[in-house]
Amino acid sequence: MLEFSILAIFATCIAGMMTRAQSRKRKREALLPVWERENGKNQIEKWLEGFLAKLKRTSTRTEKCRLILAVERMQFERDVYAAWWKYVQFGEEKVEIIAYDNDSLQKIKITEFQKQLLKSNASLKNQLIGHSEIKEEKGEWQIPAELKTKIISEGGEALVFSEKFGFFETAVRVQIFDPFLFTNNFGLDLLTWKINFEKDYEKAVNKEQSEKQNQMPKHKNIIKNFVNIELFHKKDLKQEDCIGWITIMEKADEDLRTVLKDEKIGIEQRKKIAEGILDGIVYLHNIGIVHFDKKMENVLLMNGFPKIIDFGLIREFTGRMGYREMGYARKGSKFRIITALSSATPGFAAQAQITIGDGYKTINLFYFLFCDWKSSWNLLYKPIDEKERKKIDKIVKNCNASSIHKIKERNISIIREITSIISIPSSSSHFCLDDPNLTKSVQVSSLKQNATKCVIQDLENLTKNVLDQKSSNLCVPISVATLLRFAIKNDLGLDEGNYYSAEKILSTLTLIVYPRSMAGLNLNPNKEETEFQLNQIELLLERLCKKTYLMETGWEIIRQLYWKEERQPKESTCKFEKILLHKNFVCSRPLTVTGAIIIPYKRIDGIDYPEKLFFHQMTLDRIENGEYVLQNNQFTDQSSTVIRIKQRYPHYAAEPFVSNLENQTGDNIFIDGNIKIELINEQYYMTRNRWFLLPYAYSLKLTEV
């Protein structure tokens, strides 16, 4: 009996000890992040179901767009096919990938996800679908108020929220790969997922050891993804085609763009940040990832330490599953070869990611760390002469920063040498991309579509689509690209239409040479923009023909659109000429001209549009029967808009020039030598609904050295 009592007491003690141990374990578990707990997966599942129910959005893309994007996520037998394919054609079981010259590259098995798309729209079978037929996404997120207060950043296909898991503040990024995800056409009943945890992966090391699949980037200067949830269509039982990510990651204090624009930090802190970014870039290279969107917004600061984020535009060499599963690399040959990316951020692009050239590959991000905000943009994009260059040299030398020119050689020795932030007193805001919308990544296909819309739109009868337009119509760089394309062919005798197409010239102009031109000559300018817009064409032409402090001439960068020197245009100089139009003017080559038109009050679809003065940059193709013929055939196979303006018509000039002229001479006739030009504007004799040209036009000529 005594033995039984002792055993009972012992058992009670053991039970008590176990209870206390379990209690301590629960307390320790409660202090751990949810992703490190034993039941972490169940807790994330529960959170995810509630979170997904709140995500709603619309999309302006189509089933055809979805198919094209699904092809971009495929792994081809040769990665280079991702850059070569122009068309696809879906059969019953296979999809054929077709090149620019209409040669078949490969037939590949249709994925389960693609089968589902073809079931919903069988008419897409057995027809040629163009790679560039992806429509621009103009859909919007429609999320509840409780989530709106948590938004950190928002884009058309991505959202970042702040989210608290227990004691831990995190950022949650929602990334869409299929445009219908979270729309009414793709409900949660069609969705399944796979949850991946950072703790289950080793730190990625040497890219040569690519047989090690269970690895992910882990570095103090790379954003840490704690959890990555891969989203799949429910019918995709093998989970071959990931259509979205939900990533739980570190939450930073602020982004580098905001810090630098607001001039919040001094040179020593900037140098430390530069070192951290460089360490992160080198680590990524070593493990087989090249980041091609190195802009200020993609560097976050946590307690002053930089963290590289956003792995949407990368080239990945290893094919490691861990990179994809944890949200650091996308699936598909597109992300294994740089020329297939066909997307870039204005001002932060390498030429190879938008063409097959290698004329510009400098990491511009570093310039912004060593110069103040305005000076950075001016040193990169303001055309200068030798006198101004010498003045800047003195300022740079006083900062002990002459090695800033070595950045283009991938030499960042300036980190050790610079003693103060470079500040150029004469810097102008004209060259700054202050609006963060202008430094969002741009698809080259979207540029082409916008260019096509621009040259075929009805400019004689401006529609609601044009009247509503708030952003650039790209008319200035389009016109300049047209002149340059003509000069390459006619002045240098080179007709490499595919490599030096107007489309590729436009991409390089807007993304590398002069990104401010993305703002363009807006068809609907506000009063503050007008002066800038009227000068924009000359600024762009100067940038094309002149060097800046940190960059070659725009023409020299464009000349290297093709990587083989023997296929490039001959070394040459680029010059533009300002030309005065008049009734006896003879046109010998295309010119870029600016048109002005007053559109009276209109009411369209219940919306009132007050009377408005519009400007538009156009190409003067020829003079025919006493008329200026304005047309641009370089960007489309469709019939481009043709506008005819009588040579005898007066020309537009802004105020106060016309009123001063009339006060001084008694009329509105401008005299330049033997040339007389009648001038008008919205206050002086300007007929409504009729185009008038500004008196000055510009020609562009290339001369072999």
Q: For the ranges 4-13, 68-77, 636-645, which has the lowest average pLDDT?
A: 4-13
The reply to whether 3 falls in a domain is no
Q: For the ranges 272-276, 608-612, 617-621, which has the lowest average pLDDT?
A: 608-612
Q: What is the mean pLDDT of residues 94-123?
A: 94
The reply to whether 328 falls in a domain is yes
**For residue 124, is pLDDT > 60?**
yes
pTM: 0.89
> Is 181 in the same domain as 282?
yes
Of residues 72 and 526, the one with the higher pLDDT is: 72
- Give the pLDDT score at 620: 95
- Between the CA of residue 9 and those of 13, 438, 551, what are the distances in Å? 6, 75, 84
> Is 184 in the same domain as 304?
yes
Q: For the ranges 41-50, 259-268, 530-539, which has the lowest average pLDDT?
A: 530-539
What's the helix, strand, coil split of the chain in %, to 5? Answer: 35, 25, 40
The reply to whether 90 falls in a domain is yes
**For residue 25, is pLDDT > 60?**
no
- Give the pLDDT score at 430: 87
- Give the pLDDT score at 178: 96
Phi and psi at residue 61, in whole multiples of 5°? -85, 170
**For residue 529, is pLDDT > 70?**
no
296-355: per-residue pLDDT in tens? 999 999 999 999 999 999 999 999 999 999 999 999 999 999 989 989 999 999 999 988
DSSP 8-state assignment for residue 638: S
Distance of CA 597 to the CA centre of its chain: 31
Measured distance CA(95)–CA(595) in Å, rounded: 47
575-612: per-residue pLDDT in tens? 999 999 999 999 999 999 999 989 888 887 788 888 88
- Give the pLDDT score at 531: 42
Q: For the ranges 1-5, 36-40, 607-611, which has the lowest average pLDDT?
A: 1-5
> Is 308 in the same domain as 226?
yes
Q: What is the mean pLDDT of residues 441-447?
A: 80
Quick one: which of 530, 501, 506, 525 has its CA closest to 517? 506
- Give the pLDDT score at 640: 63
- List, edge to edge, every strand of the sheet that includes 244-250: 151-154, 158-165, 168-176, 244-250, 225-233, 191-197
**For residue 262, is pLDDT > 90?**
yes
The reply to whether 642 falls in a domain is no
> Is 263 in the same domain as 124?
no
Residues of the chain above pLDDT 90, percent: 67
Half-sphere exposure of 481 (CA within 13 A, CB side): 28
> Is 126 in the same domain as 150?
no
Q: What is the mean pLDDT of residues 240-253?
A: 96
Measure CA of the first residue to CA of the last residue in the chain; give whole Å.
112
pLDDT band (50, 70, 90) for residue 637: low
The reply to whether 177 falls in a domain is yes
3-state SS, residue 414: helix
- Give the pLDDT score at 150: 95
| Domain extent for 84 | 63-133
Quick one: which of 108, 95, 113, 75 has its CA closest to 321? 75
> Is 128 in the same domain as 277?
no
pLDDT band (50, 70, 90) for residue 446: confident
Q: What is the mean pLDDT of residues 83-94?
A: 94
**For residue 5, is pLDDT > 90?**
no
The reply to whether 657 falls in a domain is no
> Is 106 in the same domain as 173?
no
Domain count, the chain: 2
Q: Where among 341, 371, 406 does a domain terminate?
A: 341
- Give the pLDDT score at 525: 37
The reply to whether 150 falls in a domain is yes
SS in 3 state form for 416-457? HHCCCCECCCCCCHHHCCCCHHHHCCEEHHHHHHHHHHHHHC
- Give the pLDDT score at 703: 97
Q: Where among 99, 133, 167 does a domain terminate?
A: 133
- Give the pLDDT score at 526: 38
> Is 128 in the same domain as 226?
no
3-state SS, residue 508: helix
The reply to whether 595 falls in a domain is no
> Is 97 in the same domain as 240?
no
Give me the chain's average pLDDT, please: 88
> Is 86 in the same domain as 165?
no
Q: Are 494 and 558 in contact (CB under 8 A)?
A: no
**For residue 3, is pLDDT > 70?**
no
> Is 272 in the same domain as 169?
yes
Q: What is the mean pLDDT of residues 70-83?
A: 96
502-511: per-residue pLDDT in tens? 888 999 999 9
Measured distance CA(206)–CA(217) in Å, rounded: 11
User: How many other CB atoms are there within 10 angstroms of residue 92's CB atom?
Assistant: 9
Identify the CATH number of the domain in which residue 230 sits: 1.10.510
H-state helical runs in 287-385: 321-325, 365-370, 373-381
For the ranges 118-122, 133-137, 451-455, the maximum mean pLDDT occurs at: 118-122
- Give the pLDDT score at 13: 65
Q: Where among 75, 106, 133 does a domain terminate?
A: 133
Measured distance CA(298)–CA(317) in Å, rounded: 21
Measured distance CA(429)–CA(373) in Å, rounded: 9
> Is 127 in the same domain as 212?
no
